[in-house]
């Protein structure tokens, strides 16, 4: 063991390391960091959502299997590299995909299967709530799911006694505390920027909408308590420790930061929590978070008004579809390689795919890909049908195919960002993180072309939200009196961190503009496919 590993082992054994866990769309990831916020070890568990009776969901039992699986993988990595068994941490935090619907009765039993952010089944509720609140309510927000259930006459609604998100659910079961970080809470119900709690006027308006139903609850009694970054959110209970580590080595009493959604942890992971900064998180979904210095002129159904984990207002452009179609193509090429007897792993195929995209024609040679595996509210699709259109000439090449598919990952985001451009929302820096930026420069270059602004990628870009929630746990454990989250990130986390910045390439921008013209026309074919191709 070298000197650095020996120092890390002592750090871990003394209980000074910090743990962050994020339940993402395709992977549950555990990240262990030191007091310098450097990653010491990671653990992973792969999972995938299922569509059951028209609902995108995950079995709740798999939440616990995945959580314990990711932790066990981390534990094994630590034991193998450092010769230490994990037993305690200075602090820890839980993050997960935002929004959705987890409803529990008075006995804390789940009433209906978990409804994830990916569902686009609450169009009527979202529209009526947006009108009643004079505030945009996206389809994936918890209040939209609850109200749609009332409109549908679902019998479980009368029995609801607690609502939360996935991060809030896991945190609750680990600590016994029904709380939520403000960045995730705003995905349940709108936040009042004055009080930094649930908006009282909108709560009253919701009460009027359901008054005739005679439910034995008020909405504010169902929602978790809102906490800001740095607040004490409870400690791991003995039962919670056993859930996370069924082998029994983990000790209770570890303090937790407020649970957050992946949007909030993405902002933290890129240091983009101050006005004028922004980030793009690109994985199964893609979203841009722009921290505002002025209010938008009106309500836009394509723009979500959310907050940073510290409560600052943020304009969010969220798209349901990003890398799922890319992954499907990589899987296809992996199957081809196996059938052809070629020794290629998926990492090599990703490298080839991203590399080829940079060699494609700037406009992808006339190809257009619509990678909609699920509905997409930005472009008003309730369902998705993956679609590839290409010209009947010799421009159907692998480089052009690769470029078309990668351009499609940011195309719908561009449509939403055009609204913020018209609103003259200015940002001094944009940082990218997530899977799209882990392989080469293509994802970063194409995002810069789409946003017409330089895009930076940090050395930790691939660690994503798990690292972000670990940073929030470190903020809880280490913050000085009066120190803000923005100051902590700027001065303690990112001051000396390696990053790479790429300015928009004029050729990429011109090619992307041409691609977008075709992409928007191709949406007409997508509508036909959704309506008629089952």
Which range, of 158-167, 421-430, 518-527, averages the lowest pLDDT? 421-430
**Which H or E run includes 527?**
helix 506-532
Query: CA 81 to CA 77: how far, in whole Å?
Result: 6
Domain around 491: 269-320+415-502
Give the Cα separation of 239 and 176 in Å (integer).
Answer: 9
280 within 8 A of 447, measured Cβ to Cβ: yes
Say yes or no: 335 and 286 in one domain. no
In what helix (H) or strand (E) does residue 249 lie, and over which residues does it extend? none
Interval 232-267: pLDDT, tens: 999 999 999 999 999 999 999 999 999 999 889 988
* Whether 329 and 369 share a structural domain: yes
Rounded distance between C-alpha atoms, residue 419 and residue 313, angstroms:
17
* 470 and 391 share one domain: no
In this structure, is residue 533 part of a structural domain?
no
410, 428, 456: which is the final residue of a domain? 410
Same domain flag for 377 and 426: no
Does residue 260 belong to any structural domain of this protein?
Answer: no
335 shares a domain with 368 = yes
**Quick one: pLDDT at residue 152?**
96
Instruction: State percent of the chain over pLDDT 90.
Output: 80
Give the chain's mean pLDDT: 94
Tell me: the pLDDT tens digits for 195-205? 999 999 999 99
Give the integer Cα–Cα distance in Å for 62 and 42. 20
Using alpha carbons, select from 312, 287, 296, 172 the residue that is nearest to residue 229.
312
Coil/strand/helix, residue 454: coil
H-helix or E-strand containing 176? none
Q: Do both 397 and 441 map to the same domain?
A: no
Distance from C-alpha of 76 to C-alpha of 91, rounded to nearest angstrom: 20
Query: Which tokens in the block code for residue 190?
Result: 């709108």
344 and 475 share one domain: no
Domain stops at, among 394, 410, 426: 410
Closest by CA position to 63, among listed 19, 117, 106, 113: 113
Tell me if 84 is assigned to some domain.
no
Interhelix angle 200-210/142-151, rounded to 10 degrees, is 10
Residue 279 and residue 399: Cα distance in Å, rounded? 28
Residues 316 and 330 in one domain: no
Cα atoms in the Cβ-side hemisphere of radius 13 Å centred on 211: 7
Helices (H) and strands (E) in the chain — how many of each? 17, 20
Residue 522 is assigned to a structural domain of this protein:
no
Q: What is the mean pLDDT of residues 288-306?
A: 88
pTM listed for this prediction? 0.81
Answer whether residue 158 is part of any domain: no
Q: What pLDDT band is residue 321 in, cutting at 50, 70 and 90?
A: very high
Note whether 463 and 338 are same-domain residues: no
Task: Report the CATH number at residue 447.
Answer: 3.30.420.40
Q: Three-state DSSP class for 70?
A: helix
Q: Establish if 316 belongs to a structural domain.
A: yes
**Cα 202 to Cα 58: distance, rounded to the nearest angstrom:** 30
Same domain, 398 and 420: no
**Count: domains in the chain:** 2
Expressed in angstroms, the distance from the first to the final Cα of the chain is 58
d(CA 406, CA 349): 14
User: Do 304 and 434 fall within a single domain?
Assistant: yes
Reported as a pLDDT band with limits 50, 70 and 90, residue 276 is confident
In this structure, the answer to whether residues 314 and 330 fall within a common structural domain is no
Using only the alpha carbons of the chain, give its radius of gyration.
23
In a domain, residue 442? The reply is: yes
Query: According to the model, what pLDDT value does residue 460 have?
Result: 62
- Count CA within 13 A, CB hemisphere, residue 323: 22
Continuous segment of H or E residues that includes residue 432: strand 429-433
Q: What is the pLDDT of residues 331-344, one digit of tens each?
A: 999 999 999 999 99
For residue 330, being part of any structural domain is answered with yes
Report the alpha-carbon distance of residue 35 to residue 12 in Å, rounded: 10
**Token pair belonging to 164:** 């939360």
Picking from 410, 437, 468, the residue at the C-terminal end of a domain is: 410
């Amino acid at each position: 063991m070298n000197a650095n590993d020996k120092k890390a082992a002592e750090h871990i054994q003394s209980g000074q390391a910090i743990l962050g866990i994020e339940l993402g769309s395709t992977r549950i990831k555990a990240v262990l960091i030191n007091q310098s916020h450097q990653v010491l070890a990671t653990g992973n568990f792969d999972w995938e959502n299922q569509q059951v009776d028209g609902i995108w969901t995950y079995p709740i039992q798999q939440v616990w299997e995945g959580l314990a699986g990711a932790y066990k993988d981390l534990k094994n990595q630590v034991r193998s590299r450092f010769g230490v068994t994990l037993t305690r941490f200075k602090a820890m935090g839980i993050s997960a995909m935002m929004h959705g619907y987890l409803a529990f009765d008075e006995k804390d039993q789940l009433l209906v299967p978990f409804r994830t952010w990916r569902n686009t089944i609450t169009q009527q509720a979202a529209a009526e709530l947006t009108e009643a609140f004079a505030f945009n309510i996206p389809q994936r927000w918890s209040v939209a799911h609850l109200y749609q259930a009332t409109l549908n006459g679902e019998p479980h609604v009368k029995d609801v006694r607690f609502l939360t998100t996935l991060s809030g659910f896991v945190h609750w079961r680990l600590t016994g505390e029904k709380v939520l970080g403000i960045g995730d809470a705003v995905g349940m119900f709108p936040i009042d920027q004055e009080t930094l709690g649930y908006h009282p006027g909108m709560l009253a308006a919701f009460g009027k909408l359901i008054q005739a139903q005679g439910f034995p609850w008020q909405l504010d009694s169902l929602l978790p308590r809102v906490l800001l970054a740095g607040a004490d959110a409870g400690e791991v209970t003995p039962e919670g420790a056993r859930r996370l580590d069924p082998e029994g080595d983990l000790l209770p009493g570890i303090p937790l930061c407020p649970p957050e959604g992946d949007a909030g942890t993405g902002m933290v992971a890129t240091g983009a929590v101050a006005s004028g900064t922004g980030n793009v998180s690109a994985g199964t979904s893609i979203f841009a978070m722009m921290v505002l210095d002025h209010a938008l002129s009106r309500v836009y159904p394509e723009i979500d008004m959310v907050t940073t984990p510290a409560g600052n207002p943020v304009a969010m452009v969220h798209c349901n579809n990003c890398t799922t179609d890319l992954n499907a193509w990589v899987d296809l090429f992996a199957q081809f390689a196996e059938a052809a007897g070629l020794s290629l792993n998926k990492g090599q195929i990703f490298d080839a795919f991203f590399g080829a995209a940079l060699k494609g024609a700037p406009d992808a040679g006339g190809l257009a890909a619509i990678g909609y595996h699920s509905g997409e509210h930005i472009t008003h699709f309730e369902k998705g049908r993956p679609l590839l259109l290409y010209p009947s000439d010799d421009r159907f090449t692998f480089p052009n195919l690769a470029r078309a598919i990668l351009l499609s990952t940011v195309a719908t985001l561009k449509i939403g960002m055009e609204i913020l451009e018209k609103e003259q929302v200015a940002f001094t820096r944009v940082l990218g993180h997530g899977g799209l930026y882990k392989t080469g420069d293509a994802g970063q270059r194409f995002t810069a072309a789409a946003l017409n602004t330089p895009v930076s990628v940090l050395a930790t870009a691939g660690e994503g939200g798990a690292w972000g929630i670990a940073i929030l746990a470190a903020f809880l454990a280490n913050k000085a009196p009066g120190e803000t989250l923005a100051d902590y990130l700027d001065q303690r986390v990112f001051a000396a961190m390696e990053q790479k910045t790429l300015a928009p390439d004029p050729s990429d921008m011109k090619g992307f503009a041409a691609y977008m013209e075709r992409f928007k026309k191709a949406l007409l074919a997508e509508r036909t496919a959704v309506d008629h191709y089952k």
